Structure formats: structure tokens, C-alpha cells
Structure 1
């Protein structure tokens, strides 16, 4: 792909992220690329034994262990444990495709989607013929509940914590929205891929959804937390009576994920429960502080997501066009994400902000942010 501004405007975020995969200063994608901790390196030393365990143990048992270790780590104690209640996928994007196809196969209808959010969600929904209605974050979090669930929608899709803003749907607000969805027979779908970074999202979503009586689907993702070279699983959980052909479409796409990855997820979740998750939170907070301190005195720059805890940070560039800044950074081998594509219903709203990934070695992050500082001061 050419780095020219016209082509960049047409690219989706994943295409832009792919440009950075071989760069030493890749601050674009939100995947975990930090160095392993000492405890995590010891898990890697166990790989021969873990491979043997994966080969010897029934896959159903390995799935139950991985689901339990990961979801209990995040205090999701009421997740469905019955047969088929949690479908294991290669990634959260595959889970999203299964949900999108299931909505289309069961009659379609408009889908209300939080705005802004990562653009592969609207792309997958639209790609399956679904019409989208934006729900602004302020409305979703604080507006009248009836406005958070627009009239005549078939499904409300919420990313919490959101990417790129980090905003978390509070327990009381989720309960109110779920009750509204139940009253109007609207499917409530949640993408909680960044849940692990923010303890404010560790209340038991599954208990809230179950008690509301609504039809619900939740997408979980292990791939954002641990630097396992993208060895990960996505989880697609759903309640009884959801009325969507999720299991059938899951079987259309895959038989199952690698049992070796299931064992790896279990071990990393166990390490996280033993203190690794707290260490990760501290690591991300330190990297966020590094970004803010380095850019704090740059004229016009601000940080709109003051309470964010997820592993990405938005930077408002003032009156500087983001795509110009992005192009100059790329010329120096530094990659971040322009924010226009996150605003899938109104890209111009993201034209003067960018997103920096924080799950990186501090030295590389420091070099990238110093390069950004130099570009901004010269702009």
C-alpha cells in the first residue's frame, strides 16, 4: 500500500496495522507485544510438557479448563457452563463474523452500534448485509435508555471497554440497557476484548444479562493480554433462547481450535490470577504515563480519554491533520493508527487524533513517542 493520504483514507485499520508488522517501532495494532515476564518465560519453558498434555487430554476437558481459568480470572463467574454455551474460536474477529452471519441468517434488521469503535466490527456487520445505526458513547452511557436502544433495531452492539476510548459500561447501566432490550426483544451483544485491562469491567456481566431476561451474546478475547505471538482464542458466549444459529454457523467455519493453545491460555490465565494481571495493569499505566509526559508540553496536544486503562491511548493533535502526521511518522519507520476509521459513521471526527498502542517494550514506546513529539513540534 502506498502511504499517500488518499489511499490511507480508504484503508481499514487492519490494513494499516499490517504495514507495521515488521517495524521495530510498531505502535499501531492493539495486540500484546511487550516482553514476557519472568513467570511467563517459565511457562514457555514448559512448552514440551504442555504439548504432551494437549495431545493426551480430551479436548472437551481442555476447553472447560481454558474457559474457566480465563473467565474466572476476570470475575465472570456466571458464564454459561453447559454444553455449547461458550463457543471457542480462532479469534474475536471470527466470533464477530459468526455473530454477524447469524443475525443476517435470522432475518437481519438494523443493528445499533456504539460510535466510535474499531472498524472491523461495522465492516463485518455490513459485509453480511446488515444496516447500522450509530449510538454515540455519551448517549450509550448517560442518555435516556430508550435512546441508547434506538427504535426498530434488531440488535444493540456495545464494545466495553471500548476501543479506542477505553470507556466502560457500568453495571447499573448495563442492567438498565439489558432490561430495555428484554422489553423490546432486542439482542444485546457485547465485545469485551479489552476487559482484562480494567477492573471496572470485572463485575459479572453474565449475571446481569441472565437476570435481565434479554437475549444476549458476549465476545471475549484472550489475545490482548499476553505476548504469546498471537496464539490466542476468541470466545463466543450466549444465553438460552438467544434465537440465533450461532452453533451451526460456528460449525460451518471451524471444527475447533488447537488444544495446545487451550493449554497455553489456561497456564497464562493461572499466572495472571497469581499476580500477573496486577503487574500488567501497572505496566500499561506506566507506559501511558510515559506517553503523556513526553507529549505534555507540545502545543495543542491533549489526551481525551483521561480515565482510560486499556492498552491503547488516543492523542488529540489540536489543529494538525492526523494523516499528515501519520505519513511523516511512517517515513521515519514509526507506526500508529489514524482515528478517522474508528468513527465509522463520521470519519471526519477522527481526522485530528491518533491512537498509540501501549502493550510494547518501554524503550521502543519511548523512541516512537519522541519521534512523534519531534514531528508535532515541527508541524
Structure 2
């Protein structure tokens, strides 16, 4: 059966980013979602060949032991050693489920005023607002400069680092300053570090900084952006014990736990990452980014506004006069799916109206083919 490009009665202008990503999975070249869809490395191929073995291992093992092993292996590889001694860690189906638990816990604790990084992926503000929290936009540059003087009164501060879609990383001195500010003002500090594995600059020990500050903190980690495992993934919800948030209670309202087979798979993939898989991933993403830039050289086809970005998505600032929503619709009609960035700018969509986001975790031939279509479209738009 042929799946239509558009569902009847659905206006793409009102769609959230995940709706657009779902459409991209159905037809054409999917350069939309940030999930890991690049080819498996040779080491990962060997792990996939062992899936029956991992399944039977999971059946025989004690699940809490598998859970802890996955947490220790993944977080250690990424430099988060203090998490293993200072954090309570809950394993979730995904980072979005962890986000829902965190949001509900804030509401239950009476903490309703949340400062949220701007821009960021729109499901974060959607989930936070969906449980009744009030959001104040905190520009990303304010966070990177640690400009604490400009913040309004808050109950929680939420930072995505590395940030999606910009790739911006909150460095250690800035994190220490925000942690100290939050501790002094009784503000919960929350981090979403789902893209941490792509950027070594994001792999200093965040948990040590948080623990040393005395702040009440929550960190959301995710394997789904990293391993091309067909969305077999784990999100980790880590937090300091003794705080105000009833995270464990709300977790048990929603989950019993995640599949022990997936825990075994995550452990095996993290070990492969430590043995060279993450280095290979960094090289792949860097090569794909360079190829995309070469196919769409600036300033002819726009600008690449995030020169320090190392994560698996890249923003393109379109030539003046082009609207990203219209351009993404036109590209979709040509069977190439990218994301317009308006929704990332959740407090002011107009700020993202001139940007597209292009996913890099893809087979190189797909990225090249998509870039050719984008190039031809922009060349025609410029000529017209």
C-alpha cells in the first residue's frame, strides 16, 4: 500500500517537529529526525549477530544487575564517573518518558516556574507546558555567558547541552556558575545531555560539578541519538537524592522498568563505543558535515551558523527572503524531508523562520542525494 505524503485534514503549519519526523519515516529521503540511522560499524554488526545470545542472557540474569551494568558502562565511557556514586538513576524507555516524569515531579512539588533554554527541540516545552508548568525563555547565549543577573524568579532552570539544534555546549565554568546560582536561589537545575556522546567537550564530569555545588539537580541521558539500533534504546533519569521532587514515586506510576534485553544491548554497544566505536562515530559525523557544507557552499546557498557544532544535526541559515516552512514543504514535495526551525524557537517562532535543520546520522549516499535536491531547489529559488 502506498502511504500518502500528507494525512487528510492535517495542516503542516500546525504540526510539531515529531509529526514532521513521523512523516519523514514513510516516504522519501529522511534527513529530518535526529535519531541514529547511520550504518552499523563492524563492531556493532557483530553485536547484532549476537542478539539471540543477548536475549537468553537477559532471560537468565537478575534485572537490577543488568540495569546497573548498563548505567555504569554507558556513563563511564562518557566521563560521568560521579554519577555512579552520587546519583539515583532510573532507566526509562526514552528521554521523552524521563522528561514526562521530571515535569510531573516539578508540578507535584509545587515548582511551576521553569526557565528553559531557547531555542531547543519543541517536545521539551510541550511536555513541560502539558503538565501545567509556566515557561520563561532563557536565550542560549545568556546561558553560555553565565549571565545570571538577567534571569527572572524561577523554581527550575532547564538547559539542553549539547543543544539541539545548535550543538552549543555549556562548558564546565559556566555549569559551575549556574549550579552555584541555582543552589543560592533554591532553584532545581536540570540538564538534558542526550547528544553528549557526539562531543568530547560535553564529556567532562557534569555530576561532579553538580554534586560539589550543593544544588538540587536532575540529568536526562539518552542512548537513542547515538547507537543505530532501530530505536532500541534507554533513557536515564539521574538525580540527587534528598530533594523535593517525587521522581521515584512518579516513575513507579508509569514504569516497572525497561527490557533487560535492551539493557544488555546498550551495555554491549557502549563497550564497543569505548573500544573505538565512539571515535568512529565522531569521524563519520564530521565527514558527513563536511560533505554537506561542500555540497551547499556559503554564501551561495545560505550560511552555516554553528561553526562549533559537532552533534548529528546541522542548521542551514537560508538565503534572505526564503521562509523555512515553505522551503521544507517544497522539499517534502521533492521527497526530501528536513525540519524548519520555527518550532525550535518555541517562544518566538519567527526567530527560526529562516533556518532548516538537516540530520547527519544517515548513510552517506542518502545525505549526498538529499543535499543535491536542496542545492537544486535553492539555485532555482535564487534564479527566480
Which of the five TM-score ranges fits, normalised by the shorter chain?
over 0.9
Aligned to 2:297: 296
1:249-274 deviation digits (Å, cap 9, x = unpaired): 00000101000000000000000000
Aligned equivalent of 1:92 = 95
Residue in structure 2 matching 1:370, options 372, 375, 380: 372
Secondary structure of 2:358 counterpart = strand
Deviation at 1:37, TM superposition (A): 1.1
Q: Are residue 322 (structure 1) and residue 324 (structure 2) matched?
A: yes
Superposed displacement of residue 185, structure 1: 0.4
1:28 matched to which residue of 2?
Answer: 32
Alpha-carbon RMSD across the aligned residues, in angstroms, is: 1.6
> Closer, same or farther in 2 for the Cα pair 1:232/1:361, shift >3 Å?
same
Displacement of 1:307 in angstroms is 0.6
Aligned to 1:153: 154
Aligned pairs for 1:136-215 (under 5 A) are 136-147=139-150, 150-215=151-216
TM-score by length of 1: 0.96
SS at match of 1:19: helix
CA distance in 2, matches of 1:136, 1:328: 30
Asked if the contact 1:111–1:130 (Cα under 8 Å) also holds between the matched residues in 2, the reply is: yes
Shift in Å at residue 8 of structure 1? 2.2
Distance in 2 separating the partners of 1:251 and 1:146: 38
Which sits farther off after the overlay, 341-350 or 136-145?
Answer: 136-145
1:122 aligns with 2:105: no
Alignment TM-score, normalising by the size of structure 2: 0.95
Q: Which moved more, 1:209-218 or 1:41-50?
A: 41-50
Secondary structure of 1:217's counterpart equals: strand
Q: Distance in 2 between matches of 1:342 and 1:276?
A: 30
1:89, distance to aligned residue in structure 2 (A): 0.3
Gap change, CA 1:258 and 1:143, over 3 Å in 2 = closer
> Residue 265 of structure 1 aligns with which residue?
266
The residue number in structure 2 matching 1:49 is 53
Gaps of 5+ in 2: none
Give the number of aligned pairs.
376
Could you tell me whether the CA contact under 8 Å between 2:54 and 2:261 is conserved in 1?
yes
**Could you say which residue in structure 2 is the equivalent of 1:349?**
351
CA distance in 2, matches of 1:129, 1:263: 36
Q: Note if 1:339 corresponds to 2:344.
A: no
Cα distance between partner residues in 1 of 2:178 and 2:331: 41
**Separation in structure 1 between the aligned mates of residue 376 and residue 40 of structure 2, nearest angstrom:** 30
Secondary structure of residue in 1 paired with 2:308: coil
Contact 1:90–1:232, Cα closer than 8 Å, also in 2: yes
Q: Which residue of structure 1 lines up, in the alignment, with residue 287 of structure 2? A: 286
Which digits, 9 at most, give the CA deviation of each residue in 1:12-56, with x for residues without a partner? Answer: 100111101123410000000011111110001111111111001
Give 1:71 shift.
0.1
SS at match of 2:83: coil
- Displacement of 1:226 in angstroms is 0.9
Partners in 2 of 1:311 and 1:279 — Cα distance? 13
Aligned-pair distance for 1:318?
2.0
d(CA) in 2 for partners of 1:351, 1:223? 28
Q: Deviations over 1:167-210 (max 9, x none)?
A: 00000110010000000000000000000000000000000000
After TM superposition, the structure 1 stretch with the greater mean CA deviation from structure 2, 298-307 or 86-95, is 298-307
Residues 373 and 170 (structure 1), Cα distance of their counterparts in 2 relative to 1, 3 Å cut: same
Alpha carbons of 1:45 and 1:218: their partners in 2 closer, same or farther (altered >3 Å)? same
CA distance in 1, matches of 2:275, 2:376: 41
Per-residue deviation at 1:9? Answer: 2.4
Q: Which runs of 5+ in 1 are unaligned?
A: none
Q: Is the 8 A contact 1:3 1:327 kept in 2?
A: no
**Which runs of at least 4 in structure 1 moved beyond 6 Å after TM superposition?**
none
